Amino acid sequence: MENKKQFLEGSQAIAEIIKNLKPAVISAYPITPQTHIVEKLAKLKANGEGDYEYVRAESEFAAASIILGASATGVRVYSATSSQGLLLMSEVIFNIAGMRLPIVMTCANRAVSAPINIWNDQSDVMAVRDAGWIQLFASDNQEAVDLHILAYKIAEQLKLPVMINVDGFILTHAFEPVAIPDVSLIKKYLPDYKPALGTYLDPNNPVTLGAFFTPAHYFETREDLHNDLAASLGTIKKEYQGLMKLLGKKNNDNGLVEYFGPKKPETILVALGSVIGTIREVIKNDKKIGVLKIKTYRPFPGEEINKILLRAKNVAVIEKAISLGQAGPLFSDIKAALPKNKLNLSNYVVGLGGRDVTEKMIKEIIKSAKHSNKKTKFIGKI
């Protein structure tokens, strides 16, 4: 059934594509709603279907440390996490980026504590958005599968870690028709990982990774990481187009952003992740409203976003996170990237802690966006 659509749970689909991508080491710690991904990978290994070392860890911090160490030896690795697990990993997350290790990890997005909440929003990934990782967002499970293939290609080419974000429960536990490319097809796009000598730990060619840097050298390393992340936008576009060609897909996006709607919209709604599906359903017959899906969030594709948003009079940024005391993080990024003009830009926070995002709420936002809104609005209060 490989390469043909199967009716799979999102987590199962992600596990199947990871198996086919041939990591050498997988390590993770179970946390809702990520658990089904690594549970499936453990079963595949136990049944002899997974050709990788599956290392059980006592915590998310340990799991992240294990894949850091494995990647440093020059092999392909994988992990997955959610919410508090990602926060527990945060020290290692920053180290992975600073050491330029091409690690790929799935974040099944979930609210953070306190109070304890296991349902979806995107607060977890926003807490580490500046850690130095490329961050991709999937709006459905087929896209999640495709983005994992892309992630390894760009990570290993650029020596930058990549995090693929999928909305917890909404995608991880949803069953959809999904095509899983087989190993032979993937190898045409993603060859076996063979890092260059001197970029990994080798007793026959000693190198230092994660060294102690004084002020005389640290500054430049951060500048280099920043510049390489910013420059990765070009590689993401190129490799995404190559992947779509391999998979026989004619997508109208470039791997960074995707726009749906009229050429000259009155209002554009901007969002990340699965809420795009609800928005598209609301506006499908509206000739004045468009929706911009942000697929690559870090590095931030400001120029690509501006090309589209400047067509409209009103822009409403809809997001499942809040930078407490400031505004939605996506809104702040868009506001900073836009040139000064008369564009009416407003911010709406929805779905925190798994609160349903309904068509009625989207219609309310569209109506509100026509007016000047200086404060961030929380939509969907009970």
**Tens digit of pLDDT per residue, the chain (382 long)?**
346 899 999 999 999 999 999 999 999 999 999 999 999 999 999 999 999 999 999 999 999 999 999 999 999 999 999 999 999 999 999 999 999 999 999 999 999 999 999 999 999 999 999 999 999 999 999 999 999 999 999 999 999 999 999 999 999 999 999 999 999 999 999 999 999 999 999 999 999 999 999 999 999 999 999 999 999 999 999 999 999 999 999 877 899 999 999 999 999 999 999 999 999 999 999 999 999 999 999 999 999 999 999 999 999 999 999 999 999 999 999 999 998 777 899 999 999 999 999 999 999 999 999 998 889 999 998 8
What's the DSSP call for residue 260? E
For the chain, list the domains and their CATH numbers. 5-247 (3.40.50.970), 257-378 (3.40.50.920)
Nearest C-alpha neighbor of 352 from the set 229, 223, 168, 201: 168
The answer to whether 3 touches 186, Cβ cutoff 8 Å, is no
The answer to whether 318 touches 269, Cβ cutoff 8 Å, is yes
- According to DSSP, the residues that pair with 270 across neighbouring strands are 292, 317
Q: What is the dihedral of CA 365, 134, 353, 377, to 10 degrees?
A: -30
> How far, in Å, are 14, 254, 323 from residue 179 at the CA level?
11, 20, 36
CA separation for the pair 331, 136 (Å, rounded)? 17
Q: Helix axis angle, 35-46 relative to 10-20, nearest 10°?
A: 50
The answer to whether 266 touches 289, Cβ cutoff 8 Å, is yes
The tokens for 162 are 């990549």
pLDDT in the model for residue 349: 98
CA separation for the pair 166, 332 (Å, rounded)? 22
Q: How many CB atoms lie within 10 A of CB 325?
A: 5
With a threshold of 0.85, does the pTM exceed it?
yes
Per DSSP, helices labelled H in the chain are 10-20, 35-46, 60-72, 83-98, 123-126, 141-158, 183-189, 215-247, 275-283, 302-309, 329-337, 359-369
